[in-house]
Amino acid sequence: MDKNRFPRDKVCGDAISGKSLRVLRDLDLEWKLRLEPQLEAHGVLFSAPNGKIARIPFTPPQAKRQSMGYVCRRVVFDNVLFSAAKEAATECLEEFVVDALVKDGATVRGVLGHRAGEKTPRTFHAHAVLGADGFDSIVARQMGLYEHDSKHWVVATRGYYRGITEMTDYIEIHFVDAVTPGYFWIFPLENGWANVGIGMLHSELKQRRINLRQAHIAATQVEPFRTRFAHAELAGGISGWNLPLGSKRRQIHGEGFMLLGDAAGLIDPFSGEGIGNAMVSGEIAAKVLARACAQNNWSAASLAEYADLLWGEIGNELQTSYLLQRLGQVKPLLNFIVGKAAKSFEVANWISSMMANETPRAELASPLTYLRLLFA
Ligand SMILES: Cc1cc2nc3c(=O)[nH]c(=O)nc-3n(C[C@H](O)[C@H](O)[C@H](O)COP(=O)(O)OP(=O)(O)OC[C@H]3O[C@@H](n4cnc5c(N)ncnc54)[C@H](O)[C@@H]3O)c2cc1C
């Protein structure tokens, strides 16, 4: 069920990383994405507040792995996923708004909703409900699990521009003064278009009374961006949206329900990526649900396996990213890290393998890794 009709837009940076790509390949959908308008991304460019630049290819020289990513507008990408889901589903309802859960005490027994434009309510009974309904999740709200903690919440803008100069096939992440902690991104798209945005912790926004839309425009007006944006055209305005971060572990399951993706608050606190973790949560929830159905057991104890497997898969990585996010709030340190990445093959390689989702989990959790990188 989705309240929209596909294809539909979703405010996003549109960067599809190694992790998303792994799930997409497992679902045998990458070839479908390649038939659609998108851009192959081959590296990432970081710029520090002091202007230092590190260019990191996703496939480092002499690497055994071949890594890449895509930048694909969500109106296109989500439609590839949704169409495949629709083909596989017994029944698929678009323009159907879920208004409430059907509950028996604390046990979820289905959903209640209405078709867009119609008033008549419809009820659906189910053994389990999977809430993959975004940051403002009605499932999380109805189960008392919705929580807007502004220290673990980013607000971001997005605009589509054409005609920015010096574009390459690298995604660009700029740590500019106007939005630290946070960043300004320029992600290349097909046919000379680019996805441009700015994101910042909500607690900082509130404290410093920053108007993000104005900060977005201001970022394009300082050098070196002023020159690059001098003849750029903005199409469709600047939109804003929320990002619930995985720096805080939330309750994501209970009697007869699981929360997935943004509804569970799984966004990477450093990179702002949420598509990969949303897809991984879907993959794990499907496996757990299949087992629960086979055992006729949709209790909280049975569905706890979902939380265990998910945190086992992405927990270390989220912790590392939270550490990086906090380090990134110290400007001299950010200058130092980007400077290191610009000079040290080992640091650059580590960042690129982390972005490609190829760093072993044990390495992510080990303090020795960071000591080694510090002296690399
Ligand atoms: C500005 C910005 C930039 C970002 N950039 C990136 C990036 O470059 N790469 C990346 O990986 N991630 C990025 N993210 C994060 C990413 O967009 C999200 O993590 C991702 O969309 C989560 O997917 P989801 O399916 O959980 O939720 P959503 O994509 O929000 O989908 C939720 C769906 O639920 C439906 N829905 C909601 N409520 C109801 C209801 N009551 N009834 C029926 N249907 C309902 C909606 O219509 C929607 O289709 C960015 C986010 C923002 C805001």
Dist. CA 339 → ligand 1 center (Å): 33
The answer to whether residue 185 scores a pLDDT higher than 60 is yes
* Chain centre distance of CA 317: 14
The span from the CA of 70 to the CA of 211, in Å, is: 30
**Residue 308 lies inside a defined structural domain of this protein:** no
Helix (H, G, I), strand (E, B) or coil at 102: strand
pLDDT at residue 363, rounded to an integer: 67
Distance in Å, CA 262 to ligand 1 centroid? 6
- pLDDT tens for each residue of 166-175: 999 999 999 9
Confidence of residue 371 (pLDDT cuts 50, 70, 90): low
The span from the CA of 344 to the CA of 274, in Å, is: 28
* pLDDT, greater one: 355 or 320: 320
How far does residue 134's CA lie from ligand 1's centre (Å)?
Answer: 5
In the chain, the number of structural domains is 2
Measured from the Cβ of residue 154, the count of other Cβ atoms closer than 10 Å reads 25
Q: Is-contact 361 317, C-beta < 8 A?
A: yes
What mean pLDDT comes out for the span 309-338? 90
Q: Tell me which of 216, 244, 272 is where a domain ends.
A: 244
Q: What is the mean pLDDT of residues 35-60?
A: 94
Asked if 305 and 294 count as a contact pair (C-beta separation under 8 A), the reply is no
Best probe residue, ligand 1, of 10, 23, 118, 141 (max atoms within 8 Å of C-beta)? 10
CATH code where residue 186 lies: 3.30.9.10
Print the domain residue range for 367.
Answer: 328-374
Report if residue 80 sits inside a domain.
no
What is the pairing mode between strands 257-259 and 129-131?
Answer: parallel
**Per-residue pLDDT tens digits for 215-232:** 999 999 999 999 999 999
Q: Is residue 112 part of a domain?
A: no
120-133 mean pLDDT: 97
> Tokens 């038939």 label which residue?
35
pLDDT at 336: 87
Measured distance CA(265)–CA(76) in Å, rounded: 23
Where does a domain end: 203, 218, 244?
A: 244
Residue 274 lies in a domain: no
Q: Can you give the C-alpha Rg of the chain in angstroms?
A: 21
pTM of the model: 0.95
CA torsion sign for 201, 204, 210, 211 is: positive
The torsion of the CA quartet 82, 88, 92, 95, rounded to 10 degrees, works out to 10
Taken in order 225, 228, 233, 235, the sign of the CA dihedral is negative
DSSP 42: -
Cα–Cα distance for residue pair 261/278, rounded to 1 Å: 4
Closest Cα to atom 30 of ligand 1: 134
Residue 358 lies in a domain: yes
Last residue of a domain, one of 220, 244, 268: 244
Residue 266 falls inside a structural domain: no
- Residue bearing tokens 């750029």: 232
Nearest CA-CA partner of 159 in 2, 13, 270:
13
Mean pLDDT (the chain) is 93
Q: Is residue 26 part of a domain?
A: no
Lining residues, ligand 1, CB within 6 Å: 1-4, 10-15, 97-98, 132-134, 138, 156, 158, 197, 241, 243, 261-263, 267, 272-276, 278
Locate all alpha helices (DSSP H) within 1-70, ordered by sequence.
18-26, 30-34
What is the position in ligand 1's atom list of the atom closest to the CA of 187?
8
Residue 215: inside a domain, yes or no?
yes
